[in-house]
């Protein structure tokens, strides 16, 4: 097969989703934010929802999400994305409204907004990237940081007497009557990326059906913050993050 054969549209089996902007991303090599952005762009394109979608970006590594996915965006104050999404969805009920948040944003500073948006059953989708660390600010401890896990503010490893317990907020959100779909996925293998895509698609569909709040947690790596190579980060995630944050559906009604 020649290069010309490969780029021949008739032979094209894979392309950049049209809803994804053609700009370099600022994410570190090995980070899966880009993969998850691509999935969101792909799903919005496939659903034909570009004109109907409003994304809410967080404070954190994904603060610039609005540069990458070609839809209307609002960028929220740290942790407040579910409050913005609540108002947007209630004022524009026929739109697809989703937030994209990290663990610091969603599970620390924004805990109240997260829990109450879910408890009201806002018809929004929450994409929750959990890498157990504050990436943007340089690798500080997050509420989801594991026991013994080192970070710049837990340099000798997280300990219970000093820092308390890792917060499994997704499990907590699954308990709330307002949530309809709570799932935990990952994006480190082709198979897991496909499953995550299905999960996000379902979350988006749920919010358009008015079923309540959907949460898709994507257990992720932060090789820069974890100070591991991308490949070693994936191994570390499988061996350490997955036992604490097991993959699968926590709720699907």
Residue 90 binds another protein, judged by CB under 8 A = yes
CB of 103: closest distance to another protein in angstroms?
A: 19
71 binds another protein (CB under 8 A): yes
Q: Hey, how many other C-beta atoms are within 10 angstroms of the C-beta on 215?
A: 28
The residue from 16, 23, 51, 148 that contacts another protein (CB under 8 A) is: 51
Q: How far is the CB of 61 from another protein (least distance, A)?
A: 13
Residue selected from 41, 62, 86, 173 as contacting another protein according to rule CB under 8 A: 86
Told to check if 123 binds another protein by CB under 8 A, we report no
d(CA 41, CA 43): 6
Candidate residues 91, 160, 190, 191; the one interacting with another protein per rule CB under 8 A:
91
Of these, 6, 23, 112, 209, which contacts another protein (CB under 8 A)?
112
162 binds another protein (CB under 8 A): no
Using CB atoms within 10 A of its CB, is residue 210 exposed (0-12), middle (13-18) or buried (19+)? exposed
Candidate segments 65-73, 129-137, 148-156, 245-253, binder of another protein by CB under 8 A: 65-73
Work out whether 56 is an interface residue with another protein (CB under 8 A): yes
Residues 102 and 62: beta-carbon distance below 8 Å = yes
Site for another protein contains 42 (CB under 8 A): no
Q: Give CA 91 to chain center in angstroms.
A: 24
Distance CA 206, CA 183 (A): 13
Residue 111, classified by CB atoms within 10 Å of its CB into exposed (0-12), middle (13-18) or buried (19+), is middle
């Amino acid at each position: 097969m020649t290069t010309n054969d490969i780029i021949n549209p008739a032979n094209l089996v894979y392309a950049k989703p049209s809803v994804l902007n053609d700009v370099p991303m600022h994410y570190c090599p090995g980070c899966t934010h880009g993969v998850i952005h691509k999935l969101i762009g792909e799903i919005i394109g496939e659903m034909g929802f570009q004109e109907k979608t409003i994304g809410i970006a967080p404070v954190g590594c994904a603060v610039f999400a609005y540069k990458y996915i070609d839809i209307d965006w609002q960028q929220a104050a740290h942790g407040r994305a579910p409050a913005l999404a609540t108002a947007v969805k209630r004022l524009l009920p026929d739109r697809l409204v989703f937030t994209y948040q990290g663990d610091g944003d969603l599970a620390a500073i924004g805990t109240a907004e997260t829990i109450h948006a879910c408890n009201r059953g806002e018809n929004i989708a929450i994409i929750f990237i959990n890498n157990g660390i504050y990436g943007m600010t340089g690798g500080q401890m997050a509420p989801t940081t594991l026991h013994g896990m080192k970070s710049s503010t837990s340099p000798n490893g997280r300990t219970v007497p000093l820092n308390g317990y890792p917060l499994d907020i997704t499990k907590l959100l699954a308990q709330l009557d307002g949530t309809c779909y709570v799932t935990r996925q990952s994006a480190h293998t082709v198979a897991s990326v496909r499953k995550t895509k299905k999960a996000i698609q379902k979350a988006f569909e749920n919010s358009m059906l008015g079923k309540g709040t959907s949460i898709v947690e994507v257990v992720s790596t932060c090789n820069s913050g974890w100070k591991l190579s991308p490949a070693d980060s994936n191994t570390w995630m499988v061996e350490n993050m997955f036992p604490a944050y097991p993959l699968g559906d926590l709720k699907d009604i």
